[in-house]
Amino acid sequence: MKRYIIASLLLIGIAVQAQTVLLEEKVDSVYKKSSYGINSTHYVHMYIDFGFVFGAEEVTKFGNTNSFGLGMRYKLRINNHLATGIDLASIYSNINFPTHGNVKKDKYYFMDLEYNWFIRTNLGMRGSIMGKFIDIGVFGKSNYFSSIYTKIEDDFEDYSTLVYSKEDLKYIETFNYGLLLRVGWNQIVFFSKYRLSNLLKPNVTGNYRDIPRWTIGIQIGLHR
Amino acid sequence: MKPNVSAMGEAVVVSNKGVTIAQGTSFASPLVAGFAACVLQMNPNYTVKQLFDEIEKSAQLYPYYDYAHGYGIPKASYFTSKNKEKTHATFRFVKNGNILTVSLFENIPTKIGQKNYLYYHVSKENGFLKDYALIDVYQQKALEFNLDDYDEKTVIRVFYKGYLKEYFFNQITE
């Protein structure tokens, strides 16, 4: 801003002769349109993920079979209604199997690096908020930690407890993939994932159990 | 567009340093809020949107705008006076080759500080401004634009003493 300049001014494209310029602004040099923002071309935010493996009661204990994760999402705006993006998250899963008799605990623990690609359809009006949206996409996940934990209490002989624990399970697939669907409203996102791949390796033998393929849950977006 | 309208933003205040002058929207906003309350008292049936729109229309520069003044300072006379002020042409555009001159009709005394405020802005096709200015003019040929420096989709708007004129590259409208 130039105040009280009493002189001959030669602005770009404008000749002002012997006038007092009280205010003069070149907007393009002051206001830069940012391509980064919640509904701009690029946006990155973190999210928290709570999930439940969803399946038959005789296979897993719903509620006790859950996952927790922290992830980062990149969103690329295509137009006013469509966006695409990728997620990268670290997910910790705790799979509880139903127990019978002396078997008191029977669990899998997994830690996976999950990555997915999605197409987002935005619904309705939104301003500087995320608004309502539906995402469909695919996910993959790489397992970097797995363990099994079994606890058996023998109350017939010496009341001893047998605990079986093993890490780095060789019969678990280290890569899994599937489909995902999400419905979101600002920070709150409900999701469901369907695992297409098998958890157990095809040549595995023994009494190992797969887990249900559906996961449902909620994600909390860490953004305004 | 922000700001929508303007108001006095300067006040004499007492601080640790004694009596001093402070400025900011903290002083301007309550004035407009009070003005809005008066308008609403006068027109209790206004919706919020109507109130908002009418305050914009009452402002001294309306329909001219820029990003420093918005539509200018709201005027109570817009709501109280039945006879709307008629505006008379105060200047004209004169095009000579690629030079567009803003020529004032009245004889302006060549004295500094007369507050003969002339506002102009150059707008893009979508209404966003490229640049804007406020000039205290004191000569008849107030402004010159070299049209070679603008593309054909820009619009030049000049506001002087209640009169607004637009220059589209193909035609002039009032």
What's the CA gap between A213 and A95, in Å, rounded? Answer: 12
Q: Tell me what percent of the residues of chain B surpass a pLDDT of 90.
A: 48
Walk me through the domains of chain B, giving residue ranges and CATH numbers. 10-80 (no CATH), 91-173 (2.60.40)
Please check the confidence at residue B174 and state whether its pLDDT lies above 60.
no
Least confident of A187-191, B22-26, B52-56: B22-26
What's the CA gap between B46 and B140, in Å, rounded? Answer: 43
Kindly list the residues from chain A whose CB atom is less than 8 angstroms away from the CB atom of residue B167: none
Please check the confidence at residue A5 and state whether its pLDDT lies above 70.
no
Query: Which carries the bigger pLDDT value, residue A150 or residue A116?
Result: A116
pLDDT of residue B112: 55
What's the CA gap between B79 and B110, in Å, rounded? Answer: 36
Q: How confident is the model at residue A152 (pLDDT cuts 50, 70, 90)?
A: confident
Topology of domain A35-222, per CATH?
A: Porin (2.40.160)
pLDDT of residue A18: 57
The residues with which B117 forms a beta bridge, in sequence order, are B136
Query: Which carries the bigger pLDDT value, residue B162 or residue B112?
Result: B162
What's the CA gap between A219 and A201, in Å, rounded? Answer: 30
pLDDT of residue A14: 47
What's the CA gap between B112 and B107, in Å, rounded? Answer: 14
> What is the pLDDT averaged over residues B33-53?
95
Query: Which carries the bigger pLDDT value, residue B6 or residue A205?
Result: B6
Interstrand relation of A132-153 and A161-167 (parallel, antiparallel or unpaired): antiparallel
**ipTM for this model:** 0.83
> What is the pLDDT averaged over residues A120-129?
87
Longest CA–CA span in chain A (Å) reads 109
Please check the confidence at residue A155 and state whether its pLDDT lies above 70.
no
Kindly list the residues from chain A whose CB atom is less than 8 angstroms away from the CB atom of residue B142: 19
> What is the pLDDT averaged over residues B74-80?
92
Q: Which of B102, B119, B131 to mutate to test the interface with A (most CBs of A within 10 A)?
A: B131
What's the CA gap between A87 and B24, in Å, rounded? Answer: 43
Q: Who contacts A133 (Cβ-Cβ below 8 Å, separation ≥6)? A: A83, A120, A121, A122, A123, A182, A183, A184
Please check the confidence at residue A158 and state whether its pLDDT lies above 80.
no
Please check the confidence at residue B21 and state whether its pLDDT lies above 50.
yes
The position carrying tokens 């009494």 is A207
Kindly list the residues from chain B whose CB atom is less than 8 angstroms away from the CB atom of residue A15: 143-144, 146
B51 in contact with A, Cβ within 8 Å: no
Please check the confidence at residue A23 and state whether its pLDDT lies above 60.
yes
A14 in contact with B, Cβ within 8 Å: yes
CB atoms inside a 10 Å sphere around CB B143: 24
Average confidence score pLDDT of chain B: 87
User: Taking a C-beta distance cutoff of 8 angstroms, is the pair A68, A111 a contact?
Assistant: no
Please check the confidence at residue B106 and state whether its pLDDT lies above 90.
no
Q: Which of A23, A24, A29 to mutate to test the interface with B (most CBs of B within 10 A)?
A: A23
User: Taking a C-beta distance cutoff of 8 angstroms, is the pair A52, A69 a contact?
Assistant: no
Least confident of A11-25, A43-57, A103-117, B83-97: A11-25
> What is the pLDDT averaged over residues B118-147?
88
pLDDT of residue B170: 61
Structure tokens at A74: 């990149």
Please check the confidence at residue A111 and state whether its pLDDT lies above 80.
yes
B140-164 pLDDT per residue, tens: 888 888 888 888 888 999 999 889 9
pLDDT of residue A127: 76
Q: How confident is the model at residue A100 (pLDDT cuts 50, 70, 90)?
A: confident
Nearest C-alpha neighbor of B59 from the set B70, B72, B40: B72
Q: Where are the domains of chain A?
A: 1-32, 35-222
